[in-house]
Structure formats: structure tokens, C-alpha cells
Amino acid sequence: MTQPAPSAQHQGPGKGRADAPASPPSKKQGPGARVLGFRADVRNLSLLGVLVVLVAVGGITEPDAFLDTGNLQLILTQASVIGVVTVGVTFVIIGGGIDLSVGAMVALASVWATTLATQEYGFAGILFTAMIVGLAAGLVNGVLIAYGGLVPFIATLAMLASARGLALQITDGKTQIVTVRSVLDLGLPDSYVLGIPPLVLVFAAVTVAGWFLLNRTTFGRRTVAVGGNAEAARLAGIDVRRQRLYLYLLSGLCCGIAAFMLIVLSGSGQNTNGNLYELDAIAAAIIGGTLLSGGRGTIVGSVLGVLVFTTITNIFALNNLQSDVQQIAKGAIIVAAVLVQRRTLRGGDT
């Protein structure tokens, strides 16, 4: 990290009261803190804390089932599909939008990619179709919002309804079983690379790519700018509308990838796939510190949010808690996680 070198010809008047009115920087670190040389987000640290507590709870209540590699693989695998969707949604939210259609896009892409006709084309046909359908749905969202002037909430709500409808029309309510062996094999232990399931590798790759895109590229800067202050972005010469279009395309692409992953995982395509993904993905992003109004957020936080959710579900299932208790506890934990996060944030501020 380059610090500005102290200047020899530095003039007096600025220095003495440079820190004056609003914020004394000596005390205030802001949301960023340096840990082990990395600029980490305090909010992410608190989320990491929540995760550690969860692991402790899991380890104490179910030491045999919770603490083994099989369970680690299981948690990461279950996190991978919704995780990829969440990365896309995080971009959209940071860019000042919202995407309610992710679950429906996953469903549509997964059934379109598993029709008998598509399965004729084998592995490549399924993968290609899932991604293109995701991209196309994202394109429709993006064009309607960026150029058609529709409010993101409405445009993606409409996409939710019509994509689910189209998925139902394609399947006729039937479960489409995948018979392409190479696709099915990808979800089996024989395909694990050094003990890591391929789906988890895809999730990791999407996470790293998303992190890089957000933090190291002009695309990322523009996303934050458009979400944080669209007028400032416009005056800085950024094509705000095109950037918005790209964000929904990105979300659609993530849904396409997730749809393919879901096909591999479940060995089938069904119009009920991706049920309530929109809520899970948005909740994970918000828990991960992404501002719902846009302009701020991190990929690492969102991924931690997903892992927290998946771990909770895992611990509940291992302890054989029934769905009523699970739902109550899940709600309580969301509130608790956000409260802890705000505490930590305030603690870091003052």
C-alpha cells in the first residue's frame, strides 16, 4: 500500500487544523482495518466471529457428525449454488438495484438446459443453454431497467413471475431427469479434486472473480459509483445506464452458472428449483454488510453471509431439529448477526 510520502515543502496552515471539523482521523478508522496486512472489513470480521461461534456450537452438540471432512464438503457444496447467485445479487445491490428474479432465472435455466432436446447435445449443450438462458433473462431485466426506465423492483418481479411461468410451461410440472453421464458424474466423489468437490471449486472461482471485478477493475469502481451517487457518476463521464445493464447481465450469468451447478447437484431440472433464492441471496448480502440502498458492500461479506446461513441449516439438521424450530431460530439468528455487526461497527467508529 502506498502511503503519500511526508512532504518537505508541506505548508503549515493546512496541517494544524486539517483534521478539524467532522472527523479526527487519529481515532476513527472507519469500517476498514488492517489485519495481517489485508484491509479487512470490520463487519466481515464480526461475521467471521459469528461463524466461529456456530462452528463451536456444531462441534459441541454433534461432535461426530459435524467435525469431519465429509461435513465440510457438504456445507461448502450446499453453499455453492446459492453462493454463486449471491455474488451476482451483491453486484446488483451495490449498484443501487435489486434483483428479485434470481430464483426464477435459476429455475428457467435449469429446466431449459435439461429438456430432452437439450440433453441430446450432452454436457456442452446443457452448460451452454443454462448460461445463455441466464444471460438472456438478465438482458431483459437490464434493458427494461436501464433503458426502459422501469423500477428494478417491478421489472425483476415481473421477470420472477414470467420466468417461473415459462419454466412450468416447459416442464409441464414434471421432473426432468438428467441422463447425461458426464454431467451426473461431476457431482460424485470420484470427480473431487484433492478432496474438493468441483461445485465448490466453481463457487471459489466465482468468488475470486467477483472480488477481483469489484475491487480491482473499472467495472467495480463504476458499480460502486452508480450505486452510491448516480449523478456524480454521470458527471464523471460514466455511462450509468450501460453500467446498470451490465449489472443485471452479470446477475443473469451467475444464475445460469448456478442453474448448471444445481443440475449437477440434483441430477435433474425442475420448475420449482431456486425456490426463494431471491430472499436467501438478498439476506446473505445484507448480513454481509452490503447496503440495501447501494454504494457499499463486499463480496467477502456476502460469501460469509451465505456460509453462516448454510452452517446454521447444517447444524439444525444434524441435531434433528424440525422445521418449525429451524425457522424460528433462523429468524432470531439473522437479527442477532445484524445487531452484532452494528455493535462492532459502532465500536470501530467511536
Partner 1 sequence: MPETSRRGLLFGTAAVSAGAFLTACTSNEPKEKAPAQSNQPAADDTEGKPVTIGFAGPQADHGWLNAINVQARSRAEKYSEVTLETTEGSNDTAAQIGQVKTLINKKVDVLVVLPADGKALTQVGLEAMRAGIPVVNLDRVFASPQAYRCWVGGDNYGMGLNAGHYIGEQLKDKANAKVVELAGIDNLELTKQRSQGFADALKNYSNIKLVARQAADFTVESGQAKMAQLLQAQKQFDALWNHDDDQGVGALRAIEQAGRDEFIMVGGAGAKSAMDAIKAGDSVLKATVLYPPTMAASAIDLARALGQSKGVSGLAEMEIPTSVTLYSAVVSKDNIDQYLPTGFS
Partner 2 sequence: MASEPPPLLTMSGITKSFPGVRALDGVDLQVQAGEVHCLLGQNGAGKSTLIKVLAGAHQPDGGSITWQGETVQLSSPITAMRLGIATIYQELDLVEGLSVAENVFLGHEPTSGGFVVRTREARTAAAALLERLGHPEIDPAREVGDLSAAHQQIVSMARALSHDVRLIVMDEPSAALDPDEVDNLFRIVDGLTSDGVAVVYISHRLEEIRRIGDRVTVLKDGRAVAVGLPAAATPTRDIVAMMTGRDVEYVFPPRPAADAPPNTAEPVLTVEGLCREGEFEAVDLELRPGEIVGLAGLVGSGRSEILETVYGARRPTAGRVSVGGTPLRPGSVRAAVAAGIGLAPEERKAQALLLTESVTRNVSLSTLSRFARGGWLDRGAERAAARRATRELSLRPDNPDAAVRTLSGGNQQKAVLARWLLRGCRVLLLDEPTRGVDVGARAELYAVIRRLADEGLAVLLVSSEVPEVLGLADRVLVLREGRVVHEAAAQELDEHRVLDLVMEGSPTS
Q: Please state the closest distance from residue 35 (CB atom) to partner 2, in A.
A: 15
**204-241 core/surface letters (b: 16 or more CB in 10 A; e: else):** eebbeebbebbeeeeebebbbbbbbebeebeeeebebb
Asked whether position 57 contacts partner 1 by CB under 8 A, the answer is no
Binding site for partner 2 (CB under 8 A): 1-7, 10-11, 13-15, 17-23, 25, 28, 30-32, 39, 216-222, 224-225, 227-229, 231-238, 291, 295-296
Question: Considering the complex, what minimum distance in angstroms separates the CB of residue 198 from partner 2?
Answer: 27
How far is 263 from 247, CA to CA, in rounded Å?
24
The Cα–Cα gap between 310 and 304 comes to 10
Least distance to partner 2, CB of residue 25, Å: 7
Residue from 51, 136, 143, 158 in contact with partner 1 (CB under 8 A): 136
Q: Does 175 bind partner 1 (CB under 8 A)?
A: yes
Output the CA angle 153-156-158, nearest 5 degrees: 105
| Closest CB to partner 2 among residues 39, 342 | 39
**CA dihedral of 266, 270, 274, 276, whole degrees rounded to 10:** -130
Of 44, 86, 251, 270, the residue at the interface with partner 1 (CB under 8 A) is 270
Residue 31 in the binding site for partner 1 (CB under 8 A): no
Query: What is the distance, to the nearest Å, from the Cα of residue 57 to the centroid of all Cα atoms in its chain?
Result: 25
Question: Judged by CB under 8 A, does residue 267 bind partner 1?
Answer: yes
Residue 201 is a binding residue for partner 1 (CB under 8 A): no
DSSP per-residue codes, 75-104: HHHHHHHHHHHHHHHHHHHHTT---TTHHH
Q: Which is nearer to partner 1, 135 or 282 (CB)?
A: 135
- Alpha-carbon distance 100 to 90, whole Å? 12
* Cα separation, 201 vs 158, whole angstroms: 33
Residues interacting with partner 1, by CB under 8 A? 62, 64-65, 70-71, 74, 77-78, 112-113, 115-118, 121, 125, 128-129, 132-133, 136, 168, 170-177, 187-189, 262, 265-268, 270-275, 313-314, 317-320, 322-324
